[in-house]
Amino acid sequence: MEPHRRTTMDEVLPGGQGFAGTAAQGGNQLNGHKQSALDAAAFRAATERILDAINTVIDGKAEAAKLALTVLLAQGHLLLEDVPGVGKTLLAKTLARTIDCSVSRIQFTPDLLPSDVTGVSIYNQSSRQFEFRPGAVFANIVIGDEINRASAKTQSALLECMEEHQVTVDGKSYKLAEPFMVVATQNPIEMEGTYPLPEAQRDRFMARISMGYPDKDSEIEMLETHQATSPLARVSSVVTSADVAAMIATVQRVYVSQSVKEYTVAVGRATRDSAMLRLGASPRSMLQLLRAAKATSALDGRDFVLPDDVVAVAESVLAHRIILDRKAASTGETPQSVIRGVLAKLPVSQEMTESAHASRQARAAGSPGAPTARPSPELRPSR
Amino acid sequence: MTLAPQRQTDASSRPSPVSPGRSPRRPGAGAYPWAMSGAVAFAVAGAALSLNGVLRGWGWYLPVLTTIVVVSLAVAGLRALRSQPLLVTLGAFVSLVFILTFTFFRRDSIVGFIPSDATMAALGRYLRRASETVLSESSPVAPNAGIVLVTCAALGLVVILVDALALPLGMPATSGLGLLAVLVVPAMIKPQSVGLAGFLATGAGFLLILACSQWFAPDSRIQADTARNPGQVKRAAMTGAVALVATLLLQLVIPGFDEGTFPQGSRLNPWASSNGLNPMISLGNSLRQPTGDGRITYATNATTPLYLRSVTVDRFDGDAWSPDDRDSTRRAGAGRMEVGHEILAPEQVREVTAVNTGDFTSPYLPVPYAPEAVNGLTGRWSWDPATLSIKGTDTNSRNQQYLVRSSAPKLTTELLDQSSAPVRGIPDEFIRPPANVPDIVRTTADSITQNGRTAYEKAMAIQRYLRAGDFTYSLESPVQGGYDGNGLSVLADFLTQKSGYCIHFASAMAVMARVEGIPSRIAVGYAPGRLTGATVSVAGQGALPEFEVDARDAHAWPELYFQGLGWVPFEPTPSRGVVPPYAQDSSSSGGASTNDGNNDGLLPTSGATAAPAPGPAPLPLPGTGGTTSGSQLVPALYGTAAALLLVLVAATPRLFRTSLRRRRLRGPARNGQAARNGQAAQKGQAMAPLAWAELQDLATDYGVRPVPSETPRTFSARFRGSPALIRSDKAGPEASEDLVHRTAEAAVTDLTGAFERHQYGRPGSPVETAGPAETVRLPDPSAADKIRAVRKALRRNAGLPGRLRADWLPPSVMSRFGRIAGAPFRAAGRVAAKAGRAAAGSWNRARDGLRRLREG
């Protein structure tokens, strides 16, 4: 529905002071424990505002919207993969709009250069110095449209930013803004002249969503509401980026019990052991799975993770990282169905009753905090 | 919330909601186990008092008491150490084995109390002895080691049972069952029933158990059960009323219940098939049977009333008399028999009798005296030359039809009177007077026979004395007087009381005759029967009249030996049998006096000559179905034990399930620092997994099985949506029904939430925060109340079969049992699978190797 634009960057590019500011700001924001978290009510109110705003724009895709928000709050990146015209880009843009933060959009094409993404140092005649002109990734939310159209080199430039949350040009590192989220879309149909993301790079995305077609009623409603103007125009930001940072901090404080960790690990091992998979879920994916589960539980109003949360996000988080065995693929299995099968067979360890309970009490007495809830070091911005 | 603290608050009506420092349990942690075990020991020891009379004397009581005390101490000690209930019971068993070994097999064991192989061998001997005792003696039986061992073991088990019922299962009132089991034995066996002392002691002990469970209740659970439940008194009253009505009705319904003395085992004993090894014992019971069974019919050509004789008793020593089989001197085959002593009588009476024993079952064959040949028998039989008793070696008398030719000297008063030659040619045991003859027997015998010159006169004097008016025939008075049985001591009682039945009369005459120097023995069999009106045609004899006898005709009579004439029967029992002509007093009215109108038909007018008639009547005596009180002891003991065991086994799943539920709902106080010094919130948390486990089991019981891969939430949702829990369409429209189901659903949701918080939430966080928003919050009932609400809804939806299954064969327990039972098989399966894989691997390697060789 978005017209194909040849422009590589059509949205706001933060100016020089913008990138400097965001870089400085970002370091603070991601220090989850310093950031004041929201209480349950405020958190719920904020999430409701965001979801409501998205749902006014995109009809019948509440699940996708929620998952997108989950990924945002879990500090992951989102891959939207579906046929053209089901609202991938619209979802990405709406999500970006609801938050009062910098947004940039990159329309990937085969001739897009890595420096277009990351930025480039150019020689300033007047000052006789090289100045860094930040690329499109210097924004809180980066929408990468049709990421599979870009060359592998450009793709990996983006993917490096996604992982490191920083850009290195000419040996100098520039921090990216926080929160930082890449929402990439990919079109699986039109394969000619594209460079589909290799597995290793898909692994960088926390979750992949297939939008799917809207149901009949939603489609009719969409026809009505979208006739005159794009509803996107009416969306205004409902939360600030500081709010989002606080929400992220809240998610980080969600408690993960030992048994949920064990369950998560068990899920990963089960995919690796599955006869239908050539490649199971990586340890990194386990981490992302757990973070997504934390965000899900926070969205559900809880401050602790249930196995249900893990189950809820497992398909979205894992399906794009695993590779089906050829035999399984030929029998009509899909990654999703395999993951469903794995989950259906995996016991949710619940034998923790009287005996384990005692040790649990002992542990609880010793450490009132929740050491497990700290963000992992690799995500912390380095200075 | 655990239940215990809540109830505590209730009981003391203290408003302060939390008293974290207080332990709500065991106000007297030390006293409780000891008090309870003491009460149990007291009750069982009291119940054991009633066994006096089943076992003779009091010598057995000390080992019994030791056993009870040791087992109780073991239980109390273990419980004071706060062992697991199962461990306590196990320990009690072990202590029982130890003390029994120590008491009975000290020399055959390791270190005096650990059983060894030798112990087992000795145990076998003891048990055999016990069963022999029980089979061959009438109550009270002599307390030999075997029987005392069995008693001790049984009572030790009762202690364990009562204890288990009262404590871990929390049903102190039901523990009375165990005591009842003890009382059943004397009630069935002893003529005086349980006896006042035993009854009072048992009752007192039972009350003590109840009281102790009130006073010393560990967690006020039991207290609360009684104190809080207003229905308790009503229920107790109802139970009592039902029991009373049942007792009264039973009396009317069961035939013979109101006749005779009630606690007569024969009527209550379901294991009534006696083997009849000792006819002396079964005789009394047979006679007392309200309806005759074991019918024997016979047809004979005898001109005088015919006594059918099974066996004789000839040893009068010892506490209890029993037939001496003389197995070593028995001769095989019954085709030809001879009396073995000289018969000088001028004339022999030969008779032919056809007997049909029907369902009369005994090792001994009822035949007229003195049999010369028995034809038509099946199986192998042997006969004793000394007594002419015919005994099956591998068979019994059931359904036998046979023809007996018998012959006896034609006796007259004169012949008998003249027989004064010294006795010879018969075994000494018929002659030797018994040792320890009670004085009263000897003096009575001497005084009544002082005028007798010949043996015959002395015998007649004795018979006259016994038939005279002083003595009355009564089946009941020996029972009531406590001398129902046999033996010399019984005889003394009989001579004092002057009332009894054939056994007493026969043995009195036999013993007195021995004392006076006349060889004697007691014959056991049937008094002459009644004409049936039918005739039986016997080969060579034509049609003979048929007679019948049954259990009520069972009889005993003395046989006295007269040199040259052989064994001569007498009839000292008044009103029974027929006095033979030679034994009739010349002074008394001439003719053959029958004692009993019953027997009128006995005297066939004419020469209905010998005819074997099919006339089976069951002689309860020689060991047929007649159950004697003695022979009831073992079946009664075993039966009671087996029944108890059966009930216990059948109830095991239910008991297990109930106690599991109780334990869970009581809360985690057992290992809980939480309960002792924690906060209420922590207690609530600690409760959650228990309540959750209970919820899952409850769902399993009513058909919603948890799946391992389900998260608590998924399971909860499935459970809430299952037909087991949701309001069924069948339910009535009442709003109350709706409420039940909604309450149950809310309870499930709540329990799920609590469990999730406990399982996955931040430890120590308050319960209230972060509950799932979806839950409908109840007014905050305890977890136990929620479980009850769920159970109520489930029961409402389940049909009767479902409820029964959930109660008696709860799938949650059964699958647990199944897992345990299946574990060895699974392990074996795993080993087999591994071995199979290994074998396949080796085979493949070998094959590859071979192939390579060949190709190479």
- Cβ-Cβ contacts under 8 Å for B781 (sequence gap 6 or more): B747, B789
With a cut of 80, say whether residue B777 has pLDDT above it: no
Considering its fold, how many domains does chain A have in total?
2
Q: What is the pLDDT of residue B529?
A: 81
Among candidates A306, A358, A361 on the partner chain, residue whose Cβ is nearest the Cβ of B711: A306
Residue B667 pLDDT class (50, 70, 90 cuts): low
A348, B710: Cβ pair inside 8 Å? yes
Angle at A153 between CA A148 and CA A159, to 5 degrees: 70
**In a domain? residue B504:** yes
**In a domain? residue B229:** yes
Among candidates B711, B763, B764 on the partner chain, residue whose Cβ is nearest the Cβ of A308: B711
Measured between beta carbons, the chain B residues lying within 8 angstroms of A359 are: none
**In a domain? residue A11:** no
Nearest-neighbour CA in chain A from B838: distance (Å): 22
**In a domain? residue A53:** yes
Q: How many C-beta atoms lie closer than 10 Å to residue A194's C-beta?
A: 18
Residue B247 pLDDT class (50, 70, 90 cuts): low
Q: List beta partners, residue B298.
A: B547, B614
Same domain, B497 and B443: yes
Instruction: Determine the residue among A254, A297, A350 to mutate to test chain B binding: the one whose Cβ has the most chain B Cβ atoms within 10 Å.
Output: A350
Contact assessment for residue B486 and residue B321, using Cβ atoms and an 8 Å cutoff:
yes
Same domain, A228 and A112: yes
Q: How many C-beta atoms lie closer than 10 Å to residue A189's C-beta?
A: 8
DSSP, collapsed to helix, strand or coil, labels residue A174 as strand
Among candidates B671, B686, B708 on the partner chain, residue whose Cβ is nearest the Cβ of A348: B708
B681 or B529, which is more confident? B529
What is the pTM (predicted TM-score) of this model? 0.49
A374 or B295, which is more confident? B295
Nearest-neighbour CA in chain B from A345: distance (Å): 6
Nearest-neighbour CA in chain A from B847: distance (Å): 27
Using the 3D structure, point to which of B584, B609, B626 is the last residue of a domain.
B626
Q: List beta partners, residue A172.
A: A169
With a cut of 80, say whether residue B133 has pLDDT above it: no
Per DSSP, the residues of A105-144 read EEE--TT--HHHHHEEEEEETTTTEEEEEE-TT-SSEEEE
**In a domain? residue B263:** no
| Residues with pLDDT less than 70, chain A | 1-37, 189-193, 350-383
Contact assessment for residue A367 and residue B680, using Cβ atoms and an 8 Å cutoff:
no
**In a domain? residue B614:** yes
Using the 3D structure, point to which of B610, B626, B642 is the last residue of a domain.
B626
Among candidates B689, B693, B756 on the partner chain, residue whose Cβ is nearest the Cβ of A306: B756
Measured between beta carbons, the chain A residues lying within 8 angstroms of B693 are: 353
Q: What is the pLDDT of residue A293?
A: 92
The owner of tokens 């392990």 is B827
Considering only CA atoms, which of B820, B808, B639, B659 is closest in space to residue B89? B659
Among candidates B674, B760, B770 on the partner chain, residue whose Cβ is nearest the Cβ of A260: B760
Name the residue in chain B with its Cα closest to that of A345.
B709
A350, B686: Cβ pair inside 8 Å? no
**In a domain? residue B737:** yes
Same domain, B606 and B478: yes
DSSP, collapsed to helix, strand or coil, labels residue B540 as coil
Name the residue in chain B with its Cα closest to that of A300.
B772
B761, A363: Cβ pair inside 8 Å? no
What would the two tokens of residue B501 be? 């039945």
Phi, psi dihedral angles at A216 (to 5 degrees): -60, -50
Considering its fold, how many domains does chain B have in total?
3
Same domain, A57 and A186: yes
Tens of pLDDT, residues B22-63 = 333 444 446 777 888 888 888 888 888 888 777 777 888 888
B27 or B252, which is more confident? B252
B689, A361: Cβ pair inside 8 Å? no
Nearest-neighbour CA in chain B from A45: distance (Å): 14
What would the two tokens of residue B24 be? 């709500």
Give the CB-side neighbour count of residue B769, counting CA atoms within 13 A: 13
Residue B400 pLDDT class (50, 70, 90 cuts): confident
B712, A353: Cβ pair inside 8 Å? no
Q: What is the pLDDT of residue B237?
A: 62
Same domain, A286 and A194: no
**In a domain? residue B6:** no
**In a domain? residue A360:** no
Measured between beta carbons, the chain A residues lying within 8 angstroms of B689 are: 352-354, 357
Same domain, B228 and B317: no
Same domain, A157 and A244: yes
d(Cα A307, Cα A262) in Å, to the nearest integer? 10
Q: What is the pLDDT of residue B104?
A: 84
Same domain, A311 and A186: no
Measured between beta carbons, the chain A residues lying within 8 angstroms of B762 are: 255, 303-304, 370
Using the 3D structure, point to which of A249, A280, A311 is the last residue of a domain.
A249
Phi, psi dihedral angles at A170 (to 5 degrees): 55, 40
Name the residue in chain B with its Cα closest to that of A373.
B762
Same domain, B684 and B638: no
Contact pairs from chain A to chain B, CB under 8 Å: 81
Same domain, B444 and B296: yes
**In a domain? residue A382:** no
Tens of pLDDT, residues B406-418 = 888 888 887 887 7
Same domain, B457 and B499: yes
d(Cα A308, Cα A348) in Å, to the nearest integer? 10
B761, A304: Cβ pair inside 8 Å? yes
DSSP, collapsed to helix, strand or coil, labels residue A220 as helix
Q: Which of B18-32, B182-196, B244-258, B700-714 has the lowest mean pLDDT?
A: B18-32
Using the 3D structure, point to which of A189, A216, A249 is the last residue of a domain.
A249
With a cut of 60, say whether residue B622 has pLDDT above it: no
Same domain, B802 and B772: yes
Among candidates A308, A353, A370 on the partner chain, residue whose Cβ is nearest the Cβ of B689: A353
What CATH number corresponds to the domain at position A272? 1.10.8.80
Same domain, B249 and B309: no
A303, B769: Cβ pair inside 8 Å? yes
Measured between beta carbons, the chain A residues lying within 8 angstroms of B711 are: 306-308, 311, 348
Sort strands B331-332 and B381-383 into parallel, antiparallel or unpaired.
antiparallel
What would the two tokens of residue A252 be? 């980080």
Q: How many C-beta atoms lie closer than 10 Å to residue B481's C-beta?
A: 17
Instruction: Determine the residue among B759, B769, B774, B819 to mutate to test chain A binding: the one whose Cβ has the most chain A Cβ atoms within 10 Å.
Output: B759
Q: Which of A98-107, B325-334, B648-657, B678-687 has the lowest mean pLDDT?
A: B678-687
Considering only CA atoms, which of A140, A145, A156 is closest in space to residue A19? A140
Considering only CA atoms, which of B254, B365, B261, B226 is closest in space to residue B308? B365
**In a domain? residue B464:** yes
d(Cα B416, Cα B408) in Å, to the nearest integer? 14
Q: What is the pLDDT of residue A292?
A: 92
Using the 3D structure, point to which of A227, A249, A271 is the last residue of a domain.
A249
d(Cα B242, Cα B220) in Å, to the nearest integer? 30
Instruction: Determine the residue among A250, A354, A355 to mutate to test chain B binding: the one whose Cβ has the most chain B Cβ atoms within 10 Å.
Output: A354
According to DSSP, residue B577 is labeled S
Nearest-neighbour CA in chain B from A273: distance (Å): 17
**In a domain? residue A105:** yes
Domain hosting residue A291, numbered range: 254-350
**In a domain? residue B842:** no
Helices (H), B318-448: 413-418, 439-448
Average pLDDT, chain B: 73
**In a domain? residue A311:** yes
With a cut of 80, say whether residue B390 has pLDDT above it: yes
Measured between beta carbons, the chain A residues lying within 8 angstroms of B763 are: 360-361, 363-364
Among candidates B674, B709, B773 on the partner chain, residue whose Cβ is nearest the Cβ of A344: B709
B671, A301: Cβ pair inside 8 Å? no
Residue B607 pLDDT class (50, 70, 90 cuts): very low
Measured between beta carbons, the chain A residues lying within 8 angstroms of B84 are: none
Tens of pLDDT, residues A316-354 = 888 888 888 888 888 888 888 888 888 888 888 745 433
What CATH number corresponds to the domain at position B314? 3.10.620.30
Helices (H), B413-484: 413-418, 439-448, 455-467, 477-481
Domain hosting residue B99, numbered range: 24-256+631-660
Contact assessment for residue B397 and residue B364, using Cβ atoms and an 8 Å cutoff:
yes
Query: Angle of helix A241-252 relative to helix A283-299, nearest 10 degrees?
Result: 110
Sort strands A141-145 and A103-107 into parallel, antiparallel or unpaired.
parallel
Q: Which of B372-386, B473-487, B502-516, B673-687 has the lowest mean pLDDT?
A: B673-687
**In a domain? residue A367:** no
CA Rg, chain A, in Å?
21
pLDDT cut 90: percent of chain B above it? 1
Same domain, B499 and B355: yes
d(Cα B709, Cα B707) in Å, to the nearest integer? 5
Q: What is the pLDDT of residue B230?
A: 45
What CATH number corresponds to the domain at position A105? 3.40.50.300
d(Cα B280, Cα B556) in Å, to the nearest integer? 9
Nearest-neighbour CA in chain B from A235: distance (Å): 29
Same domain, B40 and B170: yes
Nearest-neighbour CA in chain A from B174: distance (Å): 29
Among candidates B674, B693, B760 on the partner chain, residue whose Cβ is nearest the Cβ of A361: B674
B711, A345: Cβ pair inside 8 Å? no
- Cβ-Cβ contacts under 8 Å for A83 (sequence gap 6 or more): A187, A188, A189
B317 or A27, which is more confident? B317
